[in-house]
Chain A
Amino acid sequence: MPTVFEEKKKEKILVNRVPLVERTIMTPLTSFAVSPEGIRFETQEKEEKVVLFLRQHLVVLLGPTLLVILLALSPVLLFPFLLQFLTLPIDVPIQYVVVGTAFWYVVTFGYALMSFLRWFFNIYVVTDKRIVDIDFLHLLYKEFSEARLERIQDINFKSGGIFAAFFDYGDAYVQTAAEMPNIEFVAVPQPAKVVETISDLLEKQKISS
């Protein structure tokens, strides 16, 4: 006859054994998603399931966001202030001021768009079969690398600095067989969880094979 305490202990163990089924609902700013729905990537096989979907931590967008705010406020606040101390040799016609300001805002919008696109399409996907790294490095430059789970030799992560510690992000490294390129997840949220998830997948792979 088990005691009350033993019963409780048993329950706890059983609860811990139940696999945690998390599903992340995707939003445009999602940077860490477990088994996301409504996502498909190029070369994804029919029966292949996305286990983890990652982008760089949102904190990487902080710099471009601040710059965009500064650029947007410059024609209204910064330029009139600077012009008080500058004397131009000629009077700039008002048409040039209008066109210059309009162009300034178009360029600011373009910079914001480019920064967001670069972040949005720079993705890391962990599926039940492989790890995929799709990089949108520059305009017209795309890099696609993948590593099959059975080819993975080692995984580790590195997280350092005040920001990384505060916002819980870091770099995860996936080392593959010598002839394959290593995959680097740069500035991803919760790197420890990423490594843990990949390790679990590798273990499952080993057991099934």
Chain B
Amino acid sequence: MNGDITNIIFILFKFLILFGFGLYIVFASVILRQEQLMAQVLEESFEPVLRFASILHLIAAIAVFLLALLIL
């Protein structure tokens, strides 16, 4: 009985975590878009590195979401 309640709590917790991680993916996409827009405002040689960092951040956010989906 106690184990069932714990299981239910963990399932609810998993959905909450996935929802939070999903929101974070949206946030990471917004950062990438904003970086693209700002790159039009200022053209500089270092900009591709920032673009790469923003893409890496989005990929990392998606990877953590998938990891949570698979192992939780």
Complex formed: what's the CA distance from A95 to B44 in Å? Answer: 42
Question: With contacts defined as CB atoms under 8 Å apart, how many contacts are there between chain A and chain B in the complex?
Answer: 85
Size of the chain B interface, CB-CB below 8 angstroms: 33
Contact of B35 (CB < 8 Å), options: A98, A117, A123: A117
Q: Taking A102-B64, A109-B60, A142-B37 as contacts, is the C-beta distance between A120 and B28 under 8 angstroms?
A: no
The chain A residue with its CB closest to the CB of B61 is A106
Q: Answer whether residue A103 sits at the interface, using C-beta atoms and an 8 A cutoff.
A: yes
Contact of B45 (CB < 8 Å), options: A38, A134, A140: A38
Q: Are B28 and A95 in contact (CB under 8 A)?
A: no
Q: Answer whether residue A39 sits at the interface, using C-beta atoms and an 8 A cutoff.
A: yes
User: Which residues of chain B (1-34) have a CB below 8 Å from chain A?
Assistant: 6, 10, 17, 21, 24, 27-28, 30-31, 34
- Interface residues, chain B, with chain A CB atoms under 8 Å away: 6, 10, 17, 21, 24, 27-28, 30-31, 34-35, 37-38, 40-46, 49-50, 53-54, 57, 60-61, 63-64, 67-68, 71-72
Can you list 7 A-B contacts with CB-CB less than 8 angstroms, sorted by A residue number? A26-B45, A40-B43, A42-B41, A99-B67, A106-B60, A106-B61, A113-B54
